[in-house]
């Protein structure tokens, strides 16, 4: 019952009110809310990231949201790696959706984390846990996570910082899409370099 009450309270208006009320605490509210996303899946990522940009401004809002999301995902990943051998986790890993994700991680972990990090909605907890259970290397996970989250957070922050502009001139979203496309190309080039280095190492 209490959980349902909390979830019903997490509306965009209430989150905006909370961010503005506690803005005197500096970046903590903005970082804290996005950090909690990894542990409270119902939290609305788009609303929180957009509100951070509206309350703190584009660049600070982007920075706080990115730090919070990356820190939350990394914390989940590290915890799962530490307790991966636990019986309950092994049982959870046998679920069809999770097992499928783990196969993808083992085959192409960088792409798995990066591409799914681009989406502002999705099973973030499952993504991080699957990467941790599959034993993905920390460096590859962190680079893919930071890059994917940076692109997603910037796109949402850019729109959230001046929402009225995009409502009145929706065609300007094309700039955001071009930015995402260019970023995808850049990160795929980085992944190719990692793959080449790994082959050369063998």
99: Cβ contacts below 8 Å, ≥ 6 apart: 93
User: What is residue 96's predicted lDDT score, i.e. its pLDDT?
Assistant: 75
User: What is residue 159's predicted lDDT score, i.e. its pLDDT?
Assistant: 75
User: What is residue 1's predicted lDDT score, i.e. its pLDDT?
Assistant: 40
Across the chain, which has 202 residues, the per-10-residue mean pLDDT values are 44 67 78 85 79 86 94 92 79 73 75 82 76 86 92 83 61 64 63 56 50
pTM above 0.85, yes or no: no
User: What is residue 77's predicted lDDT score, i.e. its pLDDT?
Assistant: 92
Domain total of the chain:
1
Q: What is the DSSP string of 147-197?
A: HHHHHHHHHHHHHHHTHHHHHH-GGGHHHHHHHHHHHHHHHHHHHHHHHHH
- For residue 125, the enclosing domain spans 2-201
User: What is residue 162's predicted lDDT score, i.e. its pLDDT?
Assistant: 67
User: What is residue 66's predicted lDDT score, i.e. its pLDDT?
Assistant: 96
With contact defined as beta carbons under 8 Å apart, do 45 and 148 qualify?
no
Rounded Cα distance, 101 and 84, in Å? 15
Q: What is the DSSP letter of 43?
A: S
Rounded Cα distance, 181 and 177, in Å? 6
Rounded Cα distance, 188 and 202, in Å? 21
Closest of 8, 52, 45 to residue 124, by C-alpha = 45
Q: How many CB atoms lie within 10 A of CB 153?
A: 28
């Amino acid at each position: 019952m209490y959980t349902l009450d909390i979830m019903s309270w997490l509306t965009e208006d209430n989150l905006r009110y909370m961010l503005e009320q506690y803005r005197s605490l500096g970046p903590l509210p903005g970082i804290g809310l996005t950090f909690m996303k990894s542990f409270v899946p119902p939290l609305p990522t788009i609303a929180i990231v957009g509100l951070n940009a509206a309350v703190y401004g584009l660049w600070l809002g982007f920075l706080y949201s990115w730090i919070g999301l990356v820190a939350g995902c990394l914390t989940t990943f590290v915890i799962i790696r530490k307790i991966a051998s636990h019986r309950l986790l092994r049982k959870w890993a046998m679920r069809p959706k999770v097992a499928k994700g783990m196969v993808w991680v083992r085959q192409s972990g960088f792409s798995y984390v990066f591409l799914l990090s681009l989406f502002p909605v999705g099973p973030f907890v499952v993504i991080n846990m699957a990467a941790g259970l599959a034993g993905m290397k920390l460096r590859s996970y962190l680079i893919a996570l930071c890059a994917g989250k940076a692109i997603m957070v910037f796109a949402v922050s850019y729109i959230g910082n001046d929402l009225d502009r995009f409502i009145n001139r929706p065609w300007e979203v094309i700039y955001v899409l071009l930015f995402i496309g260019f970023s995808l190309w850049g990160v795929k080039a980085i992944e190719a370099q990692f793959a080449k280095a790994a082959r050369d190492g063998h």
